[in-house]
Chains A and B, each alone.
Chain A
Amino acid sequence: MAVRPSGYHGCYLRIDVTTGSVERVPLDERVLRQFIGGIGLGAWLLLEESRSGPGATDPAAPIAFVFSPLVGSPLTTSAKFAVVSRSPLTDRLNDSLASSGFAIAGKRCGCDAIVIVGRAAALSTLVIDDGRVRLESADDLRGATCADTEAAVKARLGPGFEVASIGPAGERGVRYATISHDGRHAGRGGSGTVLGGKNIKAIAVRGTARCEWAQPRELVEYSKSLSQKSFGPATAKYRELGTASNLLTFNRLGVLPTRNFQSGTFEAAPGISAEELRKTHTRTRASCVACTIGCEHIYASNEKNGVRLEYETLFALGPLCGVGDADAVLRAAKLCDDTGIDTISAGGTIAFAMECVERGLLDEPWLTFGSGDALLRAIRLIASREGIGDLLAEGSRRAAQRIGHDSIAFAPQVKGMEIPGYEPRALQTMALGFAVGGRGADHNRSGAYEVDFSEKVDRKNVTIDAVRYAIETEDKAALMDSLVVCKFLRGVFQDFHAEAAGMLRMVTGWDVTADELRETARRIVATKRQFNLLAGWTREEDTLPARFLQKALDGDAAAVLSRERLDALVSEYHRQRGW
């Protein structure tokens, strides 16, 4: 039997919920070193398990919960897991990340990943108790919110279990349903839809297996030092105001997507800003398990338990829908969290529908920009797939295809994934990152906005030089998401690749170098592309909606991105990737 490397169990659990069969599949050390964990190992597993054959919600399609060698270590922010599957929203590979105790408890089940295939006969909870697997009825949880499901399953099963769950949206096949754990979500691309398609309402994990570390004393010392640095100025923004502080900054720079990307500024931004919310609402801070940053800012509202608010949620449910009522935005965020819906896709799809109503393409006169009541009503309808919600539950691309009248030109999506809160015409390196993103428009797998917010490029008139920077940020994100460490640590590292190699050496004992990790990152990006090629990807997908390529951003004549320029950037990206 092969010796497993430190930091790993050297196997994954393969669970067929149709038959109840469970297999412990060995993972070769060579594979682990080549793909590390998280999204990297997840991409490899998905390719191995499916070759992209089955459609996203086909019972045969796998969904993988993937841990990493750093999970369970004292390294700050390392309690993370990836969820990898084919996306019901984009039909391409989807990898989403979530944090906290589920990662640690899942790895203690004695595996590096949990792959689920099949479809349970009835709505069920999948229980993995120290490697022993069973299905329990979840019929009484049908329609329950994510948080209520998690609480009920934990109460039922007893101490030590960590639970990931879907809400009503995942049960009903909303294409951008999330998987929730501890109030956080593996949010983008419809992971919750895939789990719901398998009739799995929740997964509960508990275990006692532990991995050894190759250099424990050095690892503990380095972890202390990293934690200390994480209290410093590089993370002050996250601690003191949270990501929501982007709102006023982006508004001032004219890059805050507003009313379905019709403008880059929102006149009501100050009233819903983090700076204003902290004056008008009681706020508490929280952090994931094993995190020293504490980026989460939870605002009291009329809803129980308060509302966790991030920039992307704030932008999507606020300016993008023209809503300047802070309480309406907070309630909408809570409703998305409860029902298990990705806030970016919800906001993007609703904003698209609001513009369709404005143009006379949809006969839903109540659905207007600026109406908080309409926003809340639309989210409820989406979660229940009732009325217009059934169409909007499909996401903006499919909705546009059904509405017709060339509405696809202003559907705010790439490959079907709704665009995050960065205006592409005024952040053109990010525009490239969105266009070539393997899972669609994505600010987590491409950090190209960092380039636009620097002296490296003219953000409204980028040249071919921007391509290599975009690739660097994509590769760096792939590495961080495979180790896995939180991207909010980025500014803490003086030399990320060297420090990442050090972390991996201390945990695994491998003589890994910074250069090896750069190659690993490229391999991970290429593997995701390989899956997408098999799933039907074509070069034409790597673009942006016509809206962004036809005219300047309103109010900023300099923010112009021609189709020719974007095509040139994408072609150069492919050339530099060797594709």
Chain B
Amino acid sequence: MRVEFLGIPRERAGVAELELDVNTLGDLLVDLDRRFPAIGGLVEAGRMRRTFLASLNGDAFVSDLRTRLSARDCVLILSADAGG
């Protein structure tokens, strides 16, 4: 599956996207926290940190760490505040 970073997560990760092989959103976020500590922690106290959002394939936003991911999925990681 593919991960795309946008906004602050991209700036801090230093990459725009990468391919990973994980089964759930929780596995993905834990893996990303390990690879990119500069992001500042996507998981906090067993939940997705509220300052970030995850979008599944650019459509639905998801935060349940048990959300199943398939090899064809793309998860976008972005800042939670969309204010302009």
Contact of A245 among B4, B8, B40 (CB under 8 A): B8
Cβ of A490 and Cβ of B55 under 8 Å apart?
no
Given A234-B81, A488-B83, A245 and B7 contact (CB-CB distance below 8 Å): yes
Q: Are A240 and B8 in contact (CB under 8 A)?
A: yes
Residues in B with CB closer than 8 Å to A491 are 50-51, 80-81
| B7–A454 CB distance below 8 A | no
- Please report which residues of chain B, range 1-17, place their CB below 8 angstroms from some CB of chain A when the two chains form the complex: 4, 6-8, 10-11
Max count, chain A CB within 10 A of own CB: residue among B50, B55, B61, B81: B81
Q: Is the CB of A249 within 8 A of B7?
A: yes
Q: Is there an interface contact between B8 and A450, defined as CB atoms closer than 8 Å?
A: no
Q: Which of B54-80 contact A (CB under 8 A)?
A: 55, 58-63, 76, 78-80
**A195 in contact (CB, < 8 A):** no
Question: Does chain A have a CB within 8 A of B84?
Answer: yes
**B83 to A233, Cβ gap below 8 A?**
no
B51–A454 touching, CB < 8 Å: no
Of B10, B58, B79, the residue contacting A253 (CB under 8 A) is B58
Cβ distance A231 to chain B, nearest Cβ, rounded Å: 13
0/1 string, B18-47, CB within 8 A of A gives 1 = 000000000000000000000010000000
Please determine whether B79 and A236 come into contact, CB atoms closer than 8 angstroms. yes
**Cβ distance A444 to chain B, nearest Cβ, rounded Å:** 9
Contacts of B63 in A (CB 8 A): 455
Tell me whether A236 and B82 are in contact (CB under 8 A): no
Minimal Cβ-Cβ distance residue in B for A244: B84
Question: Which residue of the partner chain, among A233, A310, A454, contacts B84 with CB atoms under 8 Å?
Answer: A310
Cβ distance A43 to chain B, nearest Cβ, rounded Å: 23
The reply to whether the CB of A248 lies closer than 8 angstroms to some CB of chain B is yes
| Whole-angstrom CA separation of A487 from B60 in the bound complex | 25
A240 contact set on B, CB distance < 8 A = 8, 11
Q: Number of residue pairs across A and B with beta carbons under 8 Å?
A: 81
Interface residues on B, range: 20 to 34
Query: Which residue of A has the minimal Cβ distance to B80?
Result: A491
- Would you call A248 and B7 a contact (CB within 8 A)? yes
With known contacts A237-B8, A453-B61, A246–B82 Cβ distance under 8 A: yes
A254 at interface, CB cutoff 8 A: yes
B84 with A447: CB separation less than 8 A = no
Q: How many residues of A contact B (CB 8 A)?
A: 37
| Chain A residues with CB below 8 A from B61, complex form | 453-455
Complex Cα gap A158–B8 (Å): 43
- Residue A246 contacts which of B4, B58, B84 (CB distance < 8 angstroms)? B84
Q: In the bound complex, do residue B58 and residue A249 qualify as a contact, i.e. CB atoms below 8 Å apart?
A: no
**Least Cβ distance of B20 to chain A in Å?**
18
A243 with B51: CB separation less than 8 A: no
Closest chain B residue to A456 by CB distance?
B61
Most B Cβ at <10 Å: residue of A248, A312, A421: A248
Chain A residues closer than 8 Å to B49, beta-carbon distance: 233
By beta carbon, the residue of chain A nearest B82 is: A453
B79 / chain A contacts, CB cutoff of 8 Å = 236-237, 245, 249
Check A567 for interface membership: any CB of B closer than 8 A.
Answer: no
- Return chain B residues, CB-CB under 8 Å to A311: 84
The answer to whether A275 and B82 touch across the interface, beta carbons within 8 angstroms, is no
Cβ–Cβ contact A252 & B58, under 8 A: yes
Q: Are A453 and B4 also in contact (CB < 8 A) when A237-B81, A420-B84, A488-B83 are? A: no
Cβ of A443 under 8 Å from chain B? yes
Residues of B within 8 A of A253 (CB): 55, 58, 76
For residue A226, which residues in chain B have a CB less than 8 angstroms away from its CB? Answer: none
A233–B7 touching, CB < 8 Å: no
Q: Which residues of A lie under 8 Å from residue B55 when comparing CB positions?
A: 253
Measured in the bound complex, the distance between the Cα atoms of B61 and A236 in whole Å is: 21
Task: Kindly state whether residue A241 has any CB partner on chain B within 8 Å.
Answer: yes
Assess whether B51 is in contact with A234, with CB atoms less than 8 Å apart: yes
A275 near B11: Cβ-Cβ < 8 Å: yes
CB distance from A288 to the nearest CB of B (A): 16
Residues of chain B within 8 A (CB-CB) of A315 are 84
| A449 B82 Cβ-Cβ under 8 A | yes
With A and B bound together, what is the CA distance between A252 and B63 in angstroms? 19
Contact assessment for A249 and B6 in the assembled complex, using a CB-CB cutoff below 8 Å: yes
Residue of chain B at shortest CB distance from A314: B84
Distance (Å) between the CB of B56 and the closest chain A CB?
A: 10
**A240 vs B38: C-alpha distance in the bound complex, in angstroms?**
13
Q: What is the minimal beta-carbon distance from B79 to any residue of chain A, in angstroms?
A: 4
| A572 at the binding interface (Cβ < 8 Å) | no
CB-CB < 8 A to A250: which residues of B?
A: 82
Inter-chain CA distance A240–B40, complex, in Å, is 14
Does residue A458 face the partner (Cβ distance < 8 Å to B)?
yes
Question: What distance in Å separates the Cβ of A375 from its nearest Cβ neighbour in chain B?
Answer: 20
State whether B84 touches A241 (Cβ < 8 A): no
Asked if A421 contacts B80 (CB within 8 A), the reply is no
Contacts of A420 in B (CB 8 A): 84
Using CB atoms and an 8 Å cutoff, list the residues of chain B in contact with chain A.
Answer: 4, 6-8, 10-11, 40, 49-51, 53, 55, 58-63, 76, 78-84
Closest 6 CB pairs of A and B: A311-B84, A237-B79, A249-B6, A233-B51, A243-B84, A245-B7
Instruction: Give the B-binding residues of A (Cβ under 8 A).
Output: 233-234, 236-238, 240-241, 243, 245-246, 248-250, 252-254, 275, 310-312, 315, 420-421, 443, 447, 449-450, 453-455, 458, 460, 487-488, 490-491, 558
Chosen A-B contacts, 29 in total, with CB atoms closer than 8 Å, are: A233-B40, A234-B81, A236-B79, A237-B7, A237-B81, A240-B11, A243-B84, A245-B7, A245-B8, A248-B6, A248-B7, A249-B6, A249-B7, A249-B82, A250-B82, A252-B58, A253-B76, A275-B11, A311-B84, A315-B84, A447-B83, A450-B82, A453-B82, A455-B61, A487-B83, A488-B83, A491-B50, A491-B51, A558-B59
Beyond A249-B82, A252-B6, A453-B80: 6 further Cβ-contacts under 8 Å?
A236-B8, A241-B11, A245-B79, A246-B84, A275-B10, A490-B81
